[in-house]
């Protein structure tokens, strides 16, 4: 799978998880926590493969501003995830932070897919996108065998270098 298709697939998966979360009843704290953990793990692993493989591979004069903005958006998302990891779903701040997390991720995905991905198609050819996608998928799958969310609190001081 090429890198852009992989990232879009992951975006869609997280979007579906957010929709499931929104439909959960108040008081279903166990389910809400479990769903948040699934979201946090996927977002953590996704951000890591973008920061370690995707962004460095696509950074050019034409994409640099968007890439820098993207890693700053990742930092914001990581800070919210770190906060949520310390809260219980019954905490009065939990839902508000989840809402902000959803909005930030949705904004990031829109910019990435509508602006950055168009430029990436001009930077990398089909073979390069395929090779990058294979590498990113392997790394993502390996990270998902652990609990990638647990690395997030260690990544909230500054945006990832690109």
**CATH number of 86's domain:** 1.20.120.520
Angstrom distance (rounded) from CA 147 to CA 61:
35
Does 161 reside within a domain?
A: no
Q: Is the pTM of this model over 0.85?
A: yes
**pLDDT above 90 coverage of the chain, percent:** 94
Residue 155 vs residues 11, 38, 45, 99, 123: alpha-carbon distances, Å: 21, 19, 12, 21, 28
Read off the tokens for 49: 């493969």
Tally of domains within the chain: 1
**Structural domain that includes position 134:** 3-155
Q: Which residue blocks in 86-148 are alpha helix, DSSP H? A: 94-111, 117-123, 126-144
Angstrom distance (rounded) from CA 94 to CA 84:
7
Q: What is the pLDDT of residues 89-124, one digit of tens each?
A: 999 899 999 999 999 999 999 999 999 999 999 999
* Mean pLDDT for the stretch of residues 76-91: 96
């Amino acid at each position: 799978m090429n890198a852009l298709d992989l990232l879009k697939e992951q975006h869609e998966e997280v979007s579906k998880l957010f929709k499931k979360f929104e439909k959960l009843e108040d008081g279903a704290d166990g389910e809400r926590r479990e769903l948040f953990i699934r979201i946090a793990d996927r977002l953590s692993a996704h951000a890591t493969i973008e920061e370690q493989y995707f962004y460095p591979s696509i950074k050019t004069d034409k994409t640099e501003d968007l890439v820098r903005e993207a890693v700053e958006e990742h930092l914001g998302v990581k800070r919210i995830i770190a906060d949520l990891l310390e809260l219980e779903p019954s905490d009065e701040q939990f839902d508000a932070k989840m809402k902000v997390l959803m909005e930030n991720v949705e904004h990031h995905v829109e910019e990435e897919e509508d602006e950055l991905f168009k430029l990436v198609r001009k930077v990398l050819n089909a073979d390069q996108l395929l090779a990058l996608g294979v590498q990113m998928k392997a790394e993502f799958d390996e990270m998902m065998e652990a609990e990638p969310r647990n690395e997030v609190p260690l990544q909230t001081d500054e945006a990832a270098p690109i």
